Structure 1
Amino acid sequence: MQALLADGRLTPGVRVPSERDLAAALGVGRGTVAAAYERMRASGHLVRRRGSGTWTATPTEAPPLPFTPAPSPAGTIDLAHAAPTAPAEAVTEAGHAALAALPAHLCSAGYDVVGLSALREAVADRLADEGLPTHPDEVLITSGSQHAHSLVARALVRPGDRVVLDQPTYPNAIGLVHDSSARPVPVSLERSDDGTLDWDVRALAAALRESTPATAYLVADQHNPTGAVMGAATREGVVDAFRRHGVPIVVDDSLRDTWIDAPPPPCLGSFAGPRSESTVITIGSLSKTVWAGLRIGWLRAPRALVRRIATTRASDDVAPPVLGQLMALALLERHDELAATNRARLRAGRDHLLRALPAALPDWSVRRPGGGMALWADLGAPRSSALAEAAPRHGLVLASGPRFGVGGAFESRLRVPYTLPLDVLDDAVVRLAATWDDLDRAPSVLTTVV
């Protein structure tokens, strides 16, 4: 059970079988199970609740550390963030186009709380092309997808509420739940017989039934950090489960266009249908297909929710910057071209890292993702946090596996991005191997990040 909790396949807050039932299922004496349960209660992995049995837990309930590495010395290689470098020519041209278009907007105050109408129309057209018919009034422009998620959380989540999350998931989504004084409800992805990952519809339905969450956050395409893609049949089941329980889903489509081997199924929001439009709230940005430095994103939601968010935005960032929106508008006109170029770079990086990493670290195991921006490496030992602590001594910045999970899970995992130039990836792998070797020579004290 401790191993299952460590790698995220068993999540905190799950009721375990009684001592008698588990002993019968395993064919061992009840005393053996009772002794194991007692050891896990002592270590904090199980808790007994009066009148309701024994439940899985984690040794500490501390919130995760912020996913923001400190400033690093020159020459440090950043493997903590997975994002592309900018297509310099395209971004520069978009800047010139934005400056040329800016004078037409200078006669206003520049406070358009929902965003420029032309950009909202362009985003709506983009979503319609993905199979999700959208009116511009259903779009609100934000400062990136994380900002969009934050605005939705402010509107829908109250202190003490529960929020369903993938397990593992994007670290800043976990951080947002804690910042909202809410409680994360992690639901593990399941691995099929052929080794592919998908979402467990029955587990999600059980979480909805038992925890009555305020909302959920899912990454259905090129999942961060595993690269998994939710199957079409699974999408139907997920949307149906959330519809039946009346719980809205925030689906992050920021990575949708980073597929490499094959395009994903239609976007999750397209499975909701017009009668249940409030079931799925779609957020996205240009950060993963163009450049994160633009800080332009959006959310697609029912008109009533967009208006509700807009009225509360004044205490946040008031309105998105006009110049950045004009740049985004110019870049969206070239989105297909830029996304294709980005995919070619990602394919080269992925294939290169799939050769380099096993050669340098043969005890690690990695699976070939069909898209996304990183490998989700299995270290074969629970040393991810120790590795991340030691990495700066070798000029590396890493994001340890537990940052991507609730309750200290994934101590045997490490996300390794392939977004850097190939020669930099080679250097990073050499440094990573040296750091790993140092752990064997002088093991550090393991500090679990939860």
Structure 2
Amino acid sequence: MALAGSVRGSQLTRLLGDWQGPGRRRSGPEYAQLAGAVRSLLTDGRLALGVRLPAERELAQALGLSRTTVTAAYRTLRESGHLTSRRGAGSWTALPGGHRVGTSGLWAPIEDDEIIDLGQAALPAPPELTDAVAAAAEDLPAYLTSAGYHPMGLPVLREAVAADFSRRGLPTLADQIMITGGAQHALDLILRLLVAPGQRTLLETPTYPNALTAVLASRARVVGYALGDAGWDGDLLLSTVRDARARLAYLIPDYHNPTGHLMETALRERLPAAAHAVGTDVVVDETFADLRLDGPELPPSVATFDRAARVLTVGGMSKPYWGGLRIGWVRAATSITARLAAARVAVDMSSPVLEQLVAAHLLGAREQVLAARRAQLTARRDTLVAALRARLPEWRFVVPHGGLSLWVELDAPVSSVLARTVEELGVRVAAGPRFGADGTMERFLRLPYTRPEADLVEAVERLAQARESVDRVPVRPLRAPAIVA
């Protein structure tokens, strides 16, 4: 993982919060408490790895402490392996013995009706899919006289996607749209085109595991930006963008996966210019943009504020419609989409014609499909929230206004152990470390609310049983691998 810029004294003070408050447990002298608070930020993923901490004098002034206290805290962090320092250069966050980023976000699935699979934040197909397939089959003969290769995608589908962007307030031409084999395929093509091995790519932590895998496969150097409890700290994100000078930044501003946060409009306005100033292209993943359940209206797309054609927007059918329909897209400047289409010819030539026709018809039934999805997801989200509050009240989470999952803070850093234990009880979950660097986010668990209500209630009951047994029952290895989607 590459260096992730720096954090100022005022910013670290905000991240630390009320670390000496009356509700905090006192453990030793003040410097030890400060070191422990910084260590907790790191292991919980709230402070990114590779970040340069403020100078001792600056942090002491920001916290209202003596410099001696901060010096001792930094020394304690160096001794525990959570800080590395170079004389005259500064101190950077680290993990003991180094750290690595998971190399695979995808494991082979096992079909088992007895397992409640909460590893996948995905829905079954909507009933409208059957009619869309029938209508697409009627359209197909008109395309059979050609070779069937359309690297940019079928015009009818590109026009439908462009119209949807325009409806949201972002005027878009069909030539700005390239159809892909899903949003993941879109990201892979963008990385192939824009990022050379060794160049930096900025990602949020936590982030979507398969996006992280794609960045690593491109041999890019990962730079992390840690999301806080309330989402993005605008000043810290923009300073990270400026300091990192990454070739590419991959962000999920709309009901972020896995946290569910929604980026505010003010930060969306400032982001493109800050990235452009240091030569960073921004990939905005809008996979969840159609899944607003309640709360504030969806802000304008980040690309709305792009004045330099440096924002590439990816989306797809998998989350709002169906994962089995491998259709995604990229919205970018026409010069970029043309280059992406040329690059994809070496990979897969084009997306299937019949699936694109199905997608076009589903988009035509957009309002009907999404209204049903939103009602279903709202009920399931509320059921999961109620079950967690009743059976595991010590677990903390922010109820998201959209998306497909809760990002739950556990009462102890036992996420991986809990995932292995509850697997034996018939529930599959994705542990926190799957969404970032190994050794971090053991206090978190992603819980999708895409299963039927009865399954969610039962899953929480089994999670409660597993949590009770974690400290007293030996944990057996996983029976089988799983997909995190």
Deviation at 1:39, TM superposition (A): 4.3
> SS at the partner of 1:15?
coil
8 Å contact kept, 2:408–2:445 = yes
**C-alpha distance in 2, partners of 1:217/1:432?**
32
- Aligned partner of 1:249 in structure 2 is 282
Deviation at 1:320, TM superposition (A): 0.4
- Aligned partner of 1:10 in structure 2 is 47
Deviation at 1:391, TM superposition (A): 2.5
> SS at the partner of 2:470?
helix
> SS at the partner of 2:202?
strand
**C-alpha distance in 2, partners of 1:317/1:414?**
35
- Aligned partner of 1:116 in structure 2 is 154
1:157-236 to 2 correspondence within 5 Å?
A: 157-191=195-229, 197-236=230-269
- Aligned partner of 1:56 in structure 2 is 93
8 Å contact kept, 1:198–1:231 = no
> SS at the partner of 1:257?
coil
Residue correspondences, number: 437
- Quote the sequence identity (%): 45
1:98 is aligned, of 136, 139, 144, to: 136
**2:120 corresponds to which letter in structure 1?**
H
8 Å contact kept, 2:100–2:437 = no
- Aligned partner of 2:300 in structure 1 is 266
**C-alpha distance in 1, partners of 2:438/2:304?**
33
**2:380 corresponds to which letter in structure 1?**
G
- Aligned partner of 1:308 in structure 2 is 339
Normalised TM-score (structure 2): 0.85
Alpha carbons of structure 1 residues 101 and 119: separation in structure 2 relative to 1, 3 Å: same
8 Å contact kept, 2:242–2:274 = no
Alpha carbons of structure 1 residues 405 and 324: separation in structure 2 relative to 1, 3 Å: same
- Aligned partner of 1:77 in structure 2 is 116
8 Å contact kept, 1:69–1:397 = no
Deviation at 1:294, TM superposition (A): 0.2
> SS at the partner of 1:293?
coil
- Aligned partner of 2:398 in structure 1 is 367
8 Å contact kept, 1:259–1:370 = yes
Matched, 1:336 2:373: no
**C-alpha distance in 1, partners of 2:59/2:292?**
43
Deviations 1:236-281 (A, max 9, x none): 1222322333321100111001111143112221122xx42x2211
Alpha carbons of structure 1 residues 29 and 248: separation in structure 2 relative to 1, 3 Å: closer
> SS at the partner of 1:122?
helix
8 Å contact kept, 1:111–1:319 = yes
- Aligned partner of 1:425 in structure 2 is 456
> SS at the partner of 1:110?
coil
Deviation at 1:17, TM superposition (A): 3.7
**C-alpha distance in 1, partners of 2:438/2:477?**
16
8 Å contact kept, 2:190–2:340 = yes
Matched, 1:44 2:44: no
**C-alpha distance in 1, partners of 2:107/2:299?**
35
Structure 1 or 2: more helix by fraction:
1
> SS at the partner of 1:131?
coil
Deviation at 1:282, TM superposition (A): 0.7
Query: Which deviates more, 181-190 or 138-147?
Result: 181-190
- Which blocks of at least 5 consecutive residues in structure 1 are unaligned? 192-196
8 Å contact kept, 1:184–1:406 = no
> SS at the partner of 1:298?
strand
Alpha carbons of structure 1 residues 71 and 121: separation in structure 2 relative to 1, 3 Å: closer
Deviation at 1:285, TM superposition (A): 0.6
**C-alpha distance in 1, partners of 2:185/2:473?**
42
